[in-house]
With several copies, the nearest count.
Chain A
Amino acid sequence: MTNQPSKTDLPTWLQAPNQPTTKRNRHPFLARNQRHLQALLVRLAQPAPAIPATRWQLPPHIKLLRLGLLLLLIALINNGLFLWGLALLLGAQLLVLAPSQLRRFLRSWLFSSLMAVIIVLPTYWLNGPATLLWFGFKTSLILANAQYYRATTNFQDLLTGLKTLHCPDVLIMTLAIAITYLRMLGNYLLQTMEALSLRTVAPAKHPYRLIGALFGNLYLKSYTYALELYAAMEARGFNGHYAKPATKPTRWRDYLSLSPYVALMALLIFWRN
């Protein structure tokens, strides 16, 4: 192949300076989505640091079980005093969080609680304030517990917990790959949107068509990636089973930590009959 000068002779339009056009862009959705994605990627890059190791760390599966039991209890109990007690318990746990973690906890908890209350706000006129208050209280308690779990659990812990609870391998693998790919595809989508916005020099006539192309590409790309990633993983010894890093054996006191909740639950069932 030789270098033919004619090949790089510039056409006239390329030699002329470009004439900027000014048309209003009515669809700023790309920019907004870019911001969301960026936030997601930042979150994924810095998994919530677990609470500083105090006396002992609950093993992941116990944590998961405790969360489930707690939420179930809160949902079932309709006695204000008991719930109050549970709220105090959670509050005490929150004290252990680092200040910055606590602030993050508070922000997202308040926000989500607010959303929940807004949805049921019309009941104020239907059923009066009691229903609203009660519902709001219970919901925010549930949300607080869930949020506490999120704040103190990183992704790896969740996987280990599920694994110890004998979740099927397919599910755990899928989960592990999903989170990995969430990072990769998210990053890819973000960069593509950046490239797209650089070339969006005028309002798009069919923003939806762009979205079709964006996600269609994402799918096709990820399909190719799936093959290559799997080979890359297999090439590195991956055999379809999720190798979890060695965990400490569960001790009796780990299970003991669940006992208050189990006792409450038993009480609940007993009392009712």
Chain B
Amino acid sequence: MPLMTLEQLSYNYPNTRGLDHLDLTIQAGEFVCLLGPNGSGKSTLLRILSGLATASAGTYLFNDQVITADYLSDATKRQQLHQQIGLVFQNTDVQLFNPSVAEEVAFGPRQLGLSTAEVSQRVTDCLALTDCTELRERVPYQLSGGEKKRVALASVLALNPSVLLLDEPLNGLTIAAQQQLLTLLSRLQTAGKTIIMASHNFQQVQAVGQRFIIFNSAHQIDADVAGSVLATQPERQAQLMTL
């Protein structure tokens, strides 16, 4: 049973098209990279997958449930979906709203009804994983761009979602931090999480991604290749490098 299935899914913004008739199946445990030019629909797809927006046409199935506006209007069902899917926004500014970094990360776990000790354990772990331990007592909105990005990731990780959606998580990180993040993501995948990540930099994600979905500027999927296949196609790799 696939984890997520899109069938002829389209999404229209008020005046523009966001996605155009996508067909896509994602299995649990995959590491998928979304690539494509600016404005091709990567962020839009992640919004659909996370249930922030619902398809204008076509269907989206998550765990064999059709996700519609109706489905999402049921608070309990929406909550269940959100527990399983974590999204790190492209603009992480909007994601941080608590008065301190520690509280930001504790926000999710606390809702789950974990004990105080468990919550603080999670906070410490997540901050360590994303190298934010020193920022613990800082105010999120007063951080530098890259710091915000890492805190946002930590706050999503703390929920331990089984599907992680990441919208250009490498942007604004130093090369070292990028490497560290990619390693972390591979580990998470090994631990059974599904990871879907939008990125521009094929070179960086090449090593970790197992499947590459390439959008074109018509908001459609141009190609959907497995990493193993790609490894045998050097000319395609070269083309992706200069996307």
Direct contact of A and B (CB under 8 A): yes
Interface set of A (CB-CB < 8 Å, partner B): 1-3, 5, 7-11, 13-18, 20-25, 28, 31, 42, 45-47, 155, 180-181, 183-184, 187-188, 191-192, 194-205, 213-214, 216-217, 220-221, 224-225, 227-229, 231-240, 243, 245-246
Per the bound structure, the CA–CA distance linking A8 and B131 in Å amounts to: 9
Interface set of B (CB-CB < 8 Å, partner A): 14-15, 37, 50-52, 73, 75-76, 78-80, 82-87, 89, 91, 93-99, 107-113, 116, 118, 121-122, 125, 128-129, 131, 139, 141-142, 155-162, 174, 176, 179-180, 183-184, 187-188, 191-192, 243
Cross-chain contact A232 with B188 (CB below 8 angstroms) = no
Cross-chain contact A201 with B89 (CB below 8 angstroms) = no
Cross-chain contact A20 with B84 (CB below 8 angstroms) = yes
7 A-B pairs with least C-beta separation: A237-B111, A236-B108, A25-B75, A191-B94, A235-B82, A202-B111, A15-B191
Contacts of A246 in B (CB 8 A): 116
Which chain A residue has the least Cβ–Cβ distance from B159? A236
Cross-chain contact A196 with B97 (CB below 8 angstroms) = yes
Min distance, Cβ B177 to any Cβ of chain A, angstroms:
8
Contacts of A11 in B (CB 8 A): 121-122, 125, 129
Min distance, Cβ A172 to any Cβ of chain B, angstroms:
15
Min distance, Cβ A61 to any Cβ of chain B, angstroms:
21
Contacts of B15 in A (CB 8 A): 45-46
Contacts of B139 in A (CB 8 A): 45
Min distance, Cβ A181 to any Cβ of chain B, angstroms:
8
Contacts of B174 in A (CB 8 A): 1
Per the bound structure, the CA–CA distance linking A31 and B180 in Å amounts to: 36
Q: List 27 A-B contacts (CB under 8 A).
A: A7-B128, A10-B191, A16-B160, A17-B162, A21-B83, A24-B75, A25-B75, A155-B99, A180-B97, A181-B97, A198-B87, A200-B111, A201-B79, A204-B111, A217-B97, A221-B93, A228-B52, A231-B52, A232-B94, A232-B95, A236-B82, A236-B107, A236-B155, A237-B82, A237-B109, A239-B75, A239-B111
Contacts of A229 in B (CB 8 A): 94-95, 97
Per the bound structure, the CA–CA distance linking A45 and B141 in Å amounts to: 9
Contacts of A3 in B (CB 8 A): 176, 179-180, 183
Min distance, Cβ A142 to any Cβ of chain B, angstroms:
29
Cross-chain contact A243 with B110 (CB below 8 angstroms) = yes
Cross-chain contact B73 with A20 (CB below 8 angstroms) = no
Per the bound structure, the CA–CA distance linking A183 and B179 in Å amounts to: 32
Per the bound structure, the CA–CA distance linking A47 and B15 in Å amounts to: 13
Contacts of A17 in B (CB 8 A): 162, 192
